[in-house]
Amino acid sequence: MTMIIAVAVVGCLCFAGGYMLGSSGDNEDREVIVAAGSTTIQPLMSLFKEEYEKDHMVNIGVMGGGSSAGISNALNGTADIGMVSRLLRGPGEIDAGLIEHKIAMDAVVIIVHQSVYNGGITSITLDELKAIYMSSGTATNWSSIGSGAYTAPIVPMDREAGSGTRDTFDSLALGSSSAVHKSGIVAHGSAGAMETAVSNTPNSIGYVGMDALGHLPSTVKVLEVVNPSTSTPVAPSESTVQNGTYVLNRYLTLCTLGAPEAGGAVEAFIKWIQSPAGQDVVSAGGFVKLPSA
């Protein structure tokens, strides 16, 4: 029974990546890599898959589920690669034998409904984000943000617990990965759901990854974030993320349980992602190349 279940799980993972094990043609001779986790990295991994499979005898299965799921899947062996949109931590992750592989840089982008932007709010400080999102925060009306010229109830939107984007937002904007959010804030299970919610909700605010910049609905606007060191509003861009002046920046990583087998398919795939060819795909996907690239 255990064997049947294991085969079923692998089969489902592989099907999600666009193929079936044991199918006809040269798929039978290809090695299989399964990657699962961050919904931020998922579309980028699909681009890696498409490009890499052209010239390599490998089939790559790609599944979402969130960064926490990627970590769990890498730890329990249901995925060769966990996709995690943050750096790994010691307890339960690095201490458990996971190794991270940086593949790109990203930014947490603060978005608002156009009603807020048209009301004169074009930038925001970290303290203002804390006042909006943290349980101890007192901001419930846009009149307490910026110049105070815009008056309307604030409608904050959140990502679900376990999201790498939420974890990064908490760590960088709110000051702690264990920051307690206000009760009653609606949490969304993906970046796309967040974009849609903010687009359809006047006076709302939310946050997404940088790759969203290329396809945000017209009713969604991006806020600059004030750099606390310079008191200057900074927009997210490739240069401001790489040089750190846009402070809500992060690494996107892949994790493996231990070092990948030397000369094996997983090691070769990760090295390709970190190579100039793979980093060109990073740029095409709307993310930021590693500074070393």
What pLDDT score does 10 carry? 42
Cβ atoms 254, 81 nearer than 8 A? yes
* 38 and 156 together in one domain: no
pLDDT at 29: 79
End-to-end CA distance of the chain: 48
Structure confidence at residue 223 (pLDDT): 98
Does residue 120 share a domain with residue 237?
A: yes
Q: Are 111 and 245 within one domain?
A: yes
Residues 140, 234 within the same domain? yes
- Asked if residue 289 belongs to a domain, the reply is no
Longest Cα pair distance anywhere in the chain, in angstroms?
A: 65
pLDDT at residue 271, rounded to an integer: 98
Domain-located, residue 2:
no
Tell me the C-alpha distance between 225 and 250, whole Å: 15
Tell me how far apart the alpha carbons of residues 201 and 292 are, in angstroms, rounded to a whole number: 40
Residue 293: the pLDDT is: 64
Same domain, 150 and 221: yes
Residue 74 lies in a domain: yes
pLDDT at 124: 98
Asked whether residue 8 is domain-assigned, the answer is no
* Cβ-based burial of 196 (10 A; exposed 0-12, middle 13-18, buried ≥19): middle
User: Domain range holding 95?
Assistant: 16-105+250-284
Which pLDDT belongs to residue 217?
Answer: 95
pLDDT of residue 30: 87
Q: What is the β-pairing status of strands 31-37 and 81-84?
A: parallel
> What pLDDT does 164 receive?
87
Please check whether residues 95 and 48 belong to one and the same domain.
Answer: yes
Q: Is 152 a member of any domain?
A: yes
Same domain as 188, residue 267: no
**Cβ-proximal residues to 184 (8 Å cutoff; 6+ apart), any chain:** none
Examine the domain organization and report whether 114 and 228 are in the same domain.
Answer: yes
From first to last of the 293 residues of the chain, give the pLDDT tens digit.
Answer: 333 333 334 444 443 443 333 333 455 678 999 999 998 899 999 999 999 999 999 999 999 999 999 999 999 999 999 999 999 998 899 999 999 999 999 999 999 999 999 999 999 999 999 999 999 999 999 999 999 999 999 999 999 988 889 999 999 999 998 999 999 999 999 889 999 999 999 999 999 999 899 889 999 999 999 999 999 999 999 999 999 999 999 999 999 999 999 999 999 999 999 999 999 999 999 999 998 76
Considering its fold, how many domains does the chain have in total? 2
- Claim to verify: residue 217 and residue 135 sit in the same structural domain: yes
CATH code of the domain in which 29 resides? 3.40.190.10
In a domain, residue 198? The reply is yes
141 inside domain: yes
Same domain, 53 and 168: no
pLDDT score for 9: 41
Verify that 39 and 137 share a domain, yes or no: no
For 122, other C-beta atoms within 10 Å of its C-beta total 16
List, for residues 33-50, the tens digit of each pLDDT value. Answer: 999 999 889 999 999 999
In tens, the pLDDT along 42-80 reads 999 999 999 999 999 999 999 999 999 999 999 999 999
**64: in domain:** yes
- Give the global pTM: 0.79
Same domain assignment for residues 260 and 177: no
